[in-house]
Structures are given as C-alpha cells and as structure tokens.
C-alpha cells in the first residue's frame, strides 16, 4: 500500500506540471509592441481623450518631470483632455522594445517621445525624451498601461 502513495503523488505532480500554460514571450512582446504602437497612433491624432484614456488601467500612474504624479483615470483623463485643448500641443512616441514576463501578464515597453508644447511666450517648443511604460494584461486579455514614466533627453553636447 505504501508503494502506491509515492506513485500516486508522482502522477499528480506530473499532471499538475503538464497543466501549466506556457507563454510564448516572443509572441507576447510583439503583441505588446503593437498595442503601444496603436496607443501612439491614437494619441498622436489628438482627437479623442476617451480613446487615449482606454489604454490605462483604473489604478494607473503617470509620472512626468516637474509635475505631480497623477494616480487614477480621472486625473489622467483631465491631463489628456487639457493637453488636447492646448493650442499647439502634440505628442508622439515610438515604441522600440518590449519585454513580457514568463507568466505573460506583465510587461514593459521603452522608446522615444516628443512633446510639442507652448512655452511661456506662446511659441511652441519640442521636448524630446525617453519613456518606459509598465503594462498589465487584464482578464479580458487586453494590455493596459499601469505605470507611465517619461523624461526629457539631456541637451545636446556642445562642441
């Protein structure tokens, strides 16, 4: 009888191991890059704050230099709406890399961005930068941004 317990235990462990889902991280990276590219296209068009906001989670945070951290969709939505209403405002970014966790539910993207904003005189200026966004896959299978960090590039070196 005692020899059956280890055999049964091994069978259960073997079945449990085979039931684990394996994630194709290469496919996940490609899907995440495409999701970020889609968000960039919609944001750059500057037409619908609601469409842009749909890419963030309810508990998302946005961190930009010199500004208070925005937490949650309501403050982030106000920021997007206000930005789109600002004359001369434009945003664009280019996703360059994506990493997806082995579990397939977390990932991040990095790339370059550029904000066109009015300066203190009303003249528009471009601010080039880099970003990292942390993404979480929802129960519906959709990637949404949970952490969004941006920083300007340093000024070009003088020769």
Domain membership flag for residue 156? yes
Domain membership flag for residue 80? yes
Domain membership flag for residue 25? no
Report percent pLDDT > 90 for the chain: 78
Chain centre to alpha carbon of residue 110: 9
Domain membership flag for residue 22? no
Domain membership flag for residue 102? yes
Q: What is the pLDDT of residues 49-79, one digit of tens each?
A: 999 999 999 999 999 999 999 999 999 999 9
Other CB atoms within 10 A of residue 142 CB = 12
Instruction: Count how many domains the chain has.
Output: 1
Domain membership flag for residue 1? no
Half-sphere exposure of 148 toward its Cβ, with a 13 Å CA cutoff? 24
Report percent pLDDT > 70 for the chain: 86
Q: Structure pTM?
A: 0.82
Token pair, residue 82, equals: 């206000």
Query: Apex CA 21: angle with CA 18 and CA 27, to 5°?
Result: 140
Domain membership flag for residue 52? yes
Write the CA distances from 147 to 1, 116, 136, integer angstroms.
Answer: 55, 22, 9
Token pair, residue 120, equals: 């203190």
What distance, in Å, lies between the first and last C-alpha atoms of the chain? 83
Q: What is the pLDDT of residues 4-39, one digit of tens each?
A: 545 444 434 444 444 445 678 899 999 999 999 999
Give residue 117's domain range: 48-159
DSSP 123-136: -EEEEEEEEEEEEE
Domain membership flag for residue 70? yes
Query: What letter would DSSP give residue 150?
Result: E
Assign residue 120 the CATH number of its domain: 3.10.450.50
Strand 143-152 with 124-137, pairing: antiparallel
């Amino acid at each position: 009888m005692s020899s059956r317990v280890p055999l049964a235990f091994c069978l259960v462990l073997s079945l449990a191991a085979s039931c684990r889902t394996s994630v194709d991280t290469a496919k996940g990276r490609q899907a995440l890059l495409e999701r970020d590219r889609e968000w960039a296209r919609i944001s750059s068009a500057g037409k619908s704050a609601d469409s842009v906001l749909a890419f963030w989670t309810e508990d998302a945070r946005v961190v930009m230099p010199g500004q208070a951290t925005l937490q949650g969709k309501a403050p982030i939505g106000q920021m997007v709406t206000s930005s789109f209403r600002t004359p001369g405002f434009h945003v664009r970014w280019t996703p360059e890399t994506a990493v997806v966790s082995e579990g397939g539910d977390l990932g991040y993207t990095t790339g370059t961005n550029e904000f066109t904003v009015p300066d203190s005189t009303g003249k528009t200026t471009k601010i080039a930068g880099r970003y990292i966004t942390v993404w979480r896959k929802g129960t519906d299978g959709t990637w949404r941004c949970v952490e969004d960090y941006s920083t300007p590039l340093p000024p070009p070196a003088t020769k």
